[in-house]
């Protein structure tokens, strides 16, 4: 099967099943596929509509996190290969625990803080983005440092939204890099600092998209900034994460568990 449609079906947002599908399909680099997420399939009518759409696809794989067995049965009627996360995993967990699972749609047991905490963390990240309000750095769970465009802002926002962490980010400007030590406002928070870096080629391409043909985007400027910043990180023994080949999800996971 060289080309196929991959359906991710969920009775909630679909984030979990989509992540599972992408992780599995990454093991098949020769497979070409289009990913289609069908969220909030939480009724018989929606399950039937999803099954009809899947049946209409000439080649399809289906990943599902539907918790209602009746809805799973409707989905199975599409006749395509169905890989249901709960059907595959829950029986083994039941056997290990000696307990029977109770289907409950739309829940990720203990995986994320409550809504209010996450929204508070997002607001915090926005208010302390790009070096804003440095007097509040003491309230941060983590402080991301690095030169401009190494991924600090998206990483801070993802950590806030997904995990409820209060994350600030502080850009190292050419003026900062001209000094032998990190800015004083950061030195009092060293245990919470996490440094981000990436390859000069990747940084140049990112900057080029925003400011074409500028000195800011030139490979030489990017290389000089990165080398100087990395020397500062080493001087202060900061944990450093190279984000060159990482998604924001992987960056966030590694920042949480350095």
List, for residues 105-151, the tens digit of each pLDDT value.
Answer: 554 444 444 778 889 999 999 999 999 999 999 999 999 999 999 99
pLDDT of residue 105: 53
Which stretch of DSSP H or E encloses residue 4?
A: strand 3-9
80 pLDDT above the threshold of 80: no
Mean pLDDT across the stretch 203-230? 96
Q: Within this chain, do residues 34 and 161 fall inside the same structural domain, yes or no?
A: no
Does residue 109 form part of some domain?
Answer: no
223-234 mean pLDDT: 98
Binned at pLDDT 50, 70 and 90, residue 15 comes out as: confident
In a domain, 110, yes or no: no
The whole-number average pLDDT for the span 158-178 is 95
Burial grade of 243 (CB within 10 A; 0-12, 13-18, 19 or more)? buried
Of the listed ranges 49-63, 72-86, 174-188, the least confidently predicted one is: 72-86
pTM above 0.75, yes or no: no
Share of residues in the chain with pLDDT > 70 (%): 95
The enclosing H or E element of 69 equals helix 69-76
Indicate if 225 and 123 belong to the same structural domain. yes
Report the CATH number at residue 247. Answer: 3.40.50
Let me know if residue 108 belongs to a domain: no
Q: What is the pLDDT of residue 109?
A: 45
Claim to verify: residue 66 and residue 149 sit in the same structural domain:
no
How many domains does the structure of the chain reveal?
A: 2
Burial of 98 by CB count in 10 Å (0-12 exposed, 13-18 middle, 19+ buried)?
A: exposed
Q: Which of 31, 62, 97 is the last residue of a domain?
A: 97
- Radius of gyration (C-alpha) of the chain in whole angstroms: 23
Task: With respect to residue 24, please indicate whether it lies within any of the assigned structural domains.
Answer: yes
Higher pLDDT: 191 or 82? It is: 191
pLDDT above 90 coverage of the chain, percent = 68
Domain that holds residue 47: 3-97
């Amino acid at each position: 099967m060289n080309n196929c449609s991959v359906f991710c079906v969920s009775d909630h947002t679909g984030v979990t099943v989509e992540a599972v599908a992408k992780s599995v399909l990454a093991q098949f680099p020769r497979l070409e596929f289009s990913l289609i997420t069908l969220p909030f399939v939480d009724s018989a009518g929606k399950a039937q509509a999803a099954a009809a759409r899947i049946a209409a696809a000439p080649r399809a794989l289906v990943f599902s996190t539907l918790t209602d067995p009746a809805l799973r049965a409707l989905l199975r009627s599409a006749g395509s290969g169905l890989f249901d996360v709960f059907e595959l995993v829950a029986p083994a967990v039941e056997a290990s625990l000696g307990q029977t699972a109770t289907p409950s749609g739309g829940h990720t047991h203990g995986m994320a803080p409550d809504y209010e905490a996450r929204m508070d963390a997002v607001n915090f990240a926005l208010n302390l983005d790009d070096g804003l309000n440095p007097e509040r750095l003491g309230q941060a769970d983590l402080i991301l440092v690095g030169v401009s465009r190494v991924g600090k802002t998206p990483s801070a926002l993802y950590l806030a939204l997904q995990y409820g962490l209060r994350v600030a980010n502080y850009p190292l400007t050419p003026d900062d890099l001209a000094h032998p030590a990190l800015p004083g406002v950061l030195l009092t928070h060293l245990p919470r600092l996490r440094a981000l870096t990436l390859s000069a080629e990747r940084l140049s391409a990112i900057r080029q998209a925003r400011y074409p043909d500028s000195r800011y985007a030139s490979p030489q400027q990017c290389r000089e900034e990165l080398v100087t910043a990395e020397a500062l990180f080493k001087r202060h023994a900061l944990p450093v994460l190279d984000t060159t080949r990482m998604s924001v999800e992987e960056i966030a996971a590694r920042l949480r568990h350095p």
